Structures are given as C-alpha cells and as structure tokens.
C-alpha cells in the first residue's frame, strides 16, 4: 500500500492489536476455568462445563445483538460526523438491556436444574455439577449482556485503556478466585460459576469508574433514548444473533453426537478444544471487530476507495496472523493439551490428535468470519446472513452428523476444516456467478449495497507536509471546476484545505510520530470536504467558541470557512480527528 493508505493501515493495525488483546483477556476466564476444572474437579465436572456452553451462547446472542448493533450504528454516525445520533443509539441500548439482563439472571438461577436436563447433562452423569455451575454464574451472565457493548464503545471513542484495565482486573480475579475455590473453599462447580460472576462485576466496576472519570464523545442520556433508534440496532444486531444461534445449534449438535458416541474422553477433549479456542477465537474476532468498526465508519462517509483498501489490508493481515497462530498451535499441541490433562492420563492422546486436526481450520475460518463482519459493517445484510449460515450452521452441522456417524469423534474433528473450505468455495461460486467472472477478484468480493453503489463525484488526496497540502488544495480546486462548479465554490474548498491542513501541520504534527492528513471532497446533496488526521484531539468549532471574544483577525481563515460553510461537524474515533465541512 502507498502513503495514501497510511492512516487507514495504521488505524486498522492499532485497533486490531487492541481488540485481540482485549478479547484474549476477556476469554481468559474460560481458559482458566477449563484448566482448573479439568485438573482439580475431574472429567464429570469438565463435561458439565462443556454442556453448559450452549446456554452461555444463548446469552451472548442477546449481548451481540445489542453490542454489534450499537457499535456499527455509532461508527456509521461518527463517520458521517453526527455524534449526537451516536449517543442516541448508545442511550437506547442501555435503557433496554439493563432490565432485560436482570430478568435473565433471575430466570437462569431459578430454573438451573431443568436447564441442565435440557442441555443433556443427565445423560452424561453431570446433572448436579451443571446445575450448580449455572446457579453460580447466573448473575455474571446478566452482566455479560452489558459488558461487550461498553467495551466496543470505549474502543470506538479511543478510551480503550479503560476496557483493557477492566478485562485485566477480570482476569486477575478469575485466576485468584478459581484457585481459592478449588484449593481452599471447596466450592465445587457452584464456586467456579460464582467466581465468574464476581469477575464480571469487577470488570463492570472498573469500566463504570473509567466512564465517570473521562467522558468520551458517546454519552448516556435518558432523554436521548428513542424507540426510533431501536430498529437500526436490531437490524444490524440480528445477523449477529443468527450467527450466534448457529454457533449454539452447532455446539448442541456436536455435544449430542459426542454424548451418543458414549465416549467421555471425547466430550472432555472437545471441552479442551473449546477452552483453547478461547485463545484462538479472540484473534479471529479481534481482526473481524476492527473490520466491522472501520467498515461502518467508512460506509458512513460513503468512501468506496477506502473500503476496498480496508478489505485488501484486512484479508492480508488475517491470513498472516491466523495462519501463524495455527502453525504454532499445531506444533505445540502436546504442550497445550498438557495444561488440561497430564501426559499418559486417560484422554491425553485423543485430545492431542483432536487439536492437531481442529486447528487446521483457523485461517479459513478467520477469512470467512472477516468477510461476514465486513458485509455487516457496510450493511450488505444478504451477504452477511448467507456467509453466517454457510459457515456456522449448514456445512458444519451436516458434516458433523455424517462424518460423526461414519467415523466417530475423528470425523467430527475433520468436519471443521471441511466446512470452512466448502463455505469459501460456495461464496466464491455465488459471487463469480453474479459477476459473470471466475475467479472473482478481491474487488468483486466487496458486494456493496445500493446505498454505496450510486454515482458520486469524489476525489481523495493525502498530505504529510505543507507542500503536499498546497498541492492537494490546487488539485481539489481543479477537480471542482471539472465537475462544473463555480470558481467561488472551488476556491472556498481549496482555501479550507489550505487553512485547516496548515493548522494541523503547524500545531498537530508532533515530533517522534509519523502523521498524515487524508483529504476527500465528495458531492452528495452538497459538496462535503472531509479531513482526517492522527494528531491530538482538536475541534475547531469549540476552539472558536472559547476564543469568541479574542482578536477577530486571529485565525481569520478558520473563522471565514466556518462562517461561509453550510455546516461544520467534528468527531473523533479510532484515534483520528474527523472534520466535515459542508459547502452551501
């Protein structure tokens, strides 16, 4: 990629690293629980832990409806420069999810016994352990509805440190609490569930304190909560709900296939795989979360060129990171399984074999998941539903049943890789057929919705020095003249680029860090100039308001631009300033 993509590349890599780290820490509790339960509470307790996962996935369905719906709509609103609208989505979600979370926690605690039966724990001889675990974790599952949304908002606002601190506290409490439970308190599976609830409460407390200490651009206000915001949240969140529903059905079917195989060691091996998948999956979801958020911002701008760059960059990064992860996990399989089962103990060899087959699916799964989240980010919902259904339900469930009946657990382990291969091949065949082109190019995979495919006059430039700003200013003037605009309007836009760009370079370019300015002029209903940079926060509208009584001749350029423009909007997201100047 050339220097024109520097800001996009830097923002994506920074956001991706933070999301991967956040997800790894967030899932650390499940890893710790898996290791402690397997080591100290035995195979039956580990089977109970595995069999309760579908219910946890059901809770995560609701959580992801809210989280991704808020994340994408807020990103799109900020990408268009409408911070108040972003706060409306956030406020509506808070007002809806907190009462719902409390009711779910009470219901799970009260009906823990029947739920354990439905999950198949009685057939595996693990009913009591499963019921106890559900009673302990019920309050935490209620908090789990709220926490992912708050994490997403913190990352979008550039307040990721509070999310990382919260997850670090959660992880520390989990490790200490789990060891205290099995080595001293003797709380069994109820204690393990209760430890998770306390961990979520600790995470919630840290994020609440961080939100009170430093307010971002997305704020809660009960008056901003509107029913009209609920439908867009659900519209984006429901594909994720379908995705999580498919995952839940997948987990339930595979659990039943392993139960009916009569192999307790196979169920325990699958539990080990799922615990280790809490290391692998956060890497995939971290890359995908970065794609989802940035695609939402760029879709809000209607910036097709940057969307193509984002897809190209994310596919390359995903294959590199996830391919390397799969290779390391394959080589280290004996050591990873030894965290759960000592070498020579029952189930050790079977678990090592299962992991070596299972991990082969990771790079393809990462690519398919990335495409799904990209389509969700640009609101190409048909492609989102299609990719999700193929990847997480249709092929994996079909193959698990067919290969499981034919080859037992070994066939189930291979079904993950084969399902990902069939998903990608089917997706390429469908897109190739639609485009009348085989093989389809990367640009064909964009599948932009009608809202992003209409004709729009737009041109972009990038600058890292005053000379490049002046060059971009003149090119922008010539571009508007070529589009048939009046000299006065073309000159005003050129003046805005020169003045704003010059101020950013003079006051925002700090030593020791590479800075760039991305400039884009686009015509929708009106001509809009968008300037983004990776400098410290600066809102020119607020600055003018604070200096309203000062010398009116100071910064006359900014004053003139703000006075002549139809509207000036500012927002900050993903560590970048966004300034929108809409001409009359």
Q: Is the CB of residue 458 less than 8 Å from the CB of residue 520?
A: yes
Q: Which two tokens stand for residue 32?
A: 């710790």
- Higher local confidence (pLDDT), 180 or 345: 180
User: How many helices (H) and strands (E) are present in the chain, helices listed first?
Assistant: 24, 5
pLDDT band at 4 (very low <50, low <70, confident <90, very high): low
> What CA–CA distance (Å, rounded) separates 220 from 91?
5
Which sign does the torsion angle of CA 340, 341, 347, 349 carry?
Answer: positive
pLDDT at 113 > cutoff 80: yes
CB 481 within 8 A of CB 490: yes
Q: Which pLDDT does position 542 carry in this prediction? A: 63
Q: What percent of the chain has pLDDT over 70?
A: 93
3-state secondary structure string, 419-443? HHHHHHHHHHHHHHHHHCCCCCCHH
Question: Over 60: is that where the pLDDT of 126 sits?
Answer: yes
DSSP type of residue 560: H
pLDDT at 11 over 90: no
In whole angstroms, what is the distance from residue 84 CA to residue 236 CA? 19
pLDDT greater than 80 at residue 81 = no
The predicted-structure confidence for 226-267, as pLDDT tens digits, reads as follows 888 888 888 888 777 777 778 778 888 888 888 776 567 788
Once rounded to an integer, what is the mean pLDDT over residues 432-454? 83
With tokens 């809660």, the residue in question is: 220
Q: Is the pLDDT of residue 174 over 90?
A: no
Q: Is the preceding peptide bond at 380 cis, omega within 30 degrees of 0?
A: no
pLDDT score, position 65: 81
Q: By the 8 A CB rule, do 22 and 160 touch?
A: yes
Q: Can you tell me the distance from the alpha carbon of 456 to that of 136, in angstroms, rounded to the nearest whole number?
A: 56
Main-chain dihedrals φ then ψ at residue 27, nearest 5 degrees: -90, 0
C-alpha 236: how far from chain center: 13
pLDDT tens string 509-568: 877 688 899 999 988 778 889 999 988 887 776 655 544 555 554 556 667 777 777 888
According to the model, what pLDDT value does residue 471 have? Answer: 94
- Would you mind telling me the total number of residues written for the chain in this entry? 584
Q: Beta-carbon neighbour count of residue 160 at 10 Å?
A: 20
Q: Model confidence over 261-311: pLDDT tens digits? A: 656 778 878 878 887 887 888 889 888 888 988 888 888 888 888 899 999
At 557 the pLDDT is 64
Most confident region among 154-158, 242-246, 381-385 by mean pLDDT: 381-385
State the pTM of this model: 0.78
């Amino acid at each position: 990629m050339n220097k024109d993509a520097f800001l996009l590349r830097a923002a994506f890599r920074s956001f991706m690293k933070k999301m991967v780290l956040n997800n790894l820490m967030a899932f650390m509790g499940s890893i710790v629980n898996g290791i402690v339960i397997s080591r100290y509470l035995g195979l039956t307790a580990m089977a109970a832990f595995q069999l309760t996962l579908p219910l946890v996935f059901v809770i995560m369905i609701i959580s992801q409806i809210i989280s991704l719906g808020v994340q994408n709509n807020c990103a799109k609103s900020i990408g268009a420069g409408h911070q108040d609208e972003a706060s409306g989505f956030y406020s509506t979600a808070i007002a809806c999810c907190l009462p719902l979370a409390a009711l779910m926690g009470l219901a799970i605690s009260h009906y823990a016994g029947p739920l354990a039966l439905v999950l198949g724990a009685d057939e595996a001889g693990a009913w009591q352990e499963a019921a106890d675990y559900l009673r302990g974790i019920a309050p935490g599952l209620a908090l789990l509805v709220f926490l992912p949304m708050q994490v997403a908002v913190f990352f979008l606002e550039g307040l990721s440190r509070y999310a990382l601190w919260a997850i670090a506290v959660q992880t520390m409490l989990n490790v200490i609490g789990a060891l205290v439970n099995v080595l001293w308190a003797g709380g069994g599976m109820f204690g393990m569930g209760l430890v998770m609830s306390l961990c979520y409460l600790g995470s919630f407390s840290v994020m609440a304190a961080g939100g009170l200490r430093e307010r971002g651009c997305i704020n809660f206000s009960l008056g901003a909560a509107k029913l009209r915001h609920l439908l867009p949240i659900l519209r984006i969140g429901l594909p994720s709900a379908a995705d999580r529903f498919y995952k839940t059905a997948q987990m339930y079917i595979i659990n039943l296939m392993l139960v009916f195989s009569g192999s307790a060691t196979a169920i325990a091996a699958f539990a080990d795989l799922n615990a280790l998948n809490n290391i692998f999956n956060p890497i995939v979801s971290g890359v995908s979360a970065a794609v989802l958020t940035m695609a939402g911002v760029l879709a809000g701008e209607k910036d097709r060129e940057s969307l193509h760059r984002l897809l190209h960059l994310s596919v390359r990064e995903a294959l590199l990171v996830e391919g390397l992860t799969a290779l390391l996990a394959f080589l280290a399989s004996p050591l990873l399984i030894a965290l759960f089962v000592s070498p020579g103990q029952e189930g050790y060899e079977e678990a090592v074999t299962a992991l070596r087959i299972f991990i082969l699916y990771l790079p393809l799964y990462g690519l398919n998941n990335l495409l799904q989240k990209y389509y969700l980010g640009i609101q190409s919902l048909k492609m989102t539903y299609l990719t999700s259904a193929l990847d997480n339900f249709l092929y994996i469930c079909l193959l698990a049943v067919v290969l499981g009946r034919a080859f037992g657990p070994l066939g189930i382990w291979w079904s993950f890789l084969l399902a990902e291969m069939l998903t990608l091949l089917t997706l390429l065949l469908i897109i190739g057929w639609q485009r009348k082109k085989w093989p389809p190019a990367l640009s064909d995979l964009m599948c932009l919705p009608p809202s992003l495919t209409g004709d729009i006059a737009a041109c972009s430039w990038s600058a890292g020095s005053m000379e490049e700003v002046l060059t971009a200013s003149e090119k922008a003037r010539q571009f508007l003249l070529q589009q048939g605009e009046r000299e006065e309007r073309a000159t005003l836009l050129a003046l805005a680029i020169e003045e704003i760009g010059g101020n950013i370079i003079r006051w925002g370019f700090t030593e020791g860090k590479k800075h760039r300015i991305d400039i884009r002029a686009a015509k929708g209903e009106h001509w809009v100039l968008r300037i983004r940079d990776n400098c410290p926060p600066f809102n020119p509208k607020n600055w003018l308001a604070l200096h309203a009584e000062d010398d009116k001749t100071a910064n006359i350029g900014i004053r003139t631009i703000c006075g002549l423009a139809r509207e000036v909007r500012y927002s900050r997201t993903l560590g970048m300033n966004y300034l929108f100047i809409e001409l009359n």
